[in-house]
Amino acid sequence: MTKVLVTPRSFGKYNREEIIELFAEKGIEIEFNPFGQIMTEEQMMECLEDKDGLIVGVDPVNEKVLSKAKKLKAIAKYGVGLDNIDLACVNKKQIKVSKTVSANSNAVADYSFALLMSVARRVVEINNEAKDGNWEKTVALDVYGKKIGVVGLGAIGRGVVRRAQGFEMEVYGYDIYRDDDYLRENQIHFADIDTIIKECDFISIHMPLTEETKHLFNRENLRYAKENLIIINTARGGIVDEDALYDLLKAGKIYGAGVDVFEEEPAQDSKLLDLENVVIGSHTAASTIGATEMMSMMASRNIIADLGGQVKNG
């Protein structure tokens, strides 16, 4: 029997019976993550030995893990970021790879803007103080009409642009691929990273983590930021140099940050957790009922199709 390992803990949380039935119809046996956490290399190696397919979240799929996955034919990413998968090794082994494109884009765009508002208006701080009986007024930053830089203009970035337009913000944008029609239709100033850092009051990051984007925001360029800059990162932790961000936030050179992703996760040892001007997420931007259902079904259909089951997304 064909076997598939599923590692994301939220996979099928709201439509599990439907998904199990879908796999059963195709004669595929699925094994859910038995560890209740992001799996380690050793756990992945153990569980993948007899598997034909893998539905994976952020668990490691490197050369060491793949060396034990002798039967593996297909990987379905539960999400869109492939930085935890050794693509060179996967390609060499001719393992098919898919991802759940656009399944969670609105959920992540919502959360990005929620973080932006929370940091700018100091929502967490005001909440905590008010619950402790402190009703003194806390002065915060304006959002309406300000400048925002959206770094990465894929489905999620464009979702953030739409939300920013509702606040009549002046939008600066950057992407590896320049779509002049989109930029013109949405009145977006296309700009490089340095210009966005210097000009914008808010920056929202939506790029994949690659060799080119690692530490795209670093000590060298962030020192030119406005003191009222707020950085939002719901993409990947490695895109921002966390040590540089921490130092600048602590020194008051940057106003605040909303951080849902870290260079090391879980982020128990990150210095950013100690700062009051940072609102922290647990890599949870995509965690809504609708997005979870859609990603679970799309990943299921992808893996079944790549294993020869002829199921298409729809």
Q: Which of 129, 263, 265, 293 is catalytic?
A: 265
Q: Which of 158, 163, 206, 236 is catalytic?
A: 236
Amino acid letter, residue 17:
E
Q: Which of 158, 206, 283, 301 is catalytic?
A: 283
Say whether 121 is catalytic: no
The DSSP line for 253-291 is SS-EEEE---SSSS-TT-GGGG-TTEEE--S-TT-SHHH
Amino acid letter, residue 279:
V
Say whether 283 is catalytic: yes
Return the structure tokens found at 288.
């809504």
Spatial distance between the Cα atoms of 194 and 177, rounded to a whole number of angstroms: 17
According to DSSP, residue 40 is labeled P
Contacts from 38-47 at CB under 8 Å and sequence distance 24+?
A: 38/7, 38/265, 38/266, 39/7, 41/65, 44/7, 45/69, 47/5
Spatial distance between the Cα atoms of 296 and 10, rounded to a whole number of angstroms: 8
Could you list the active site residues? 236, 265, 283
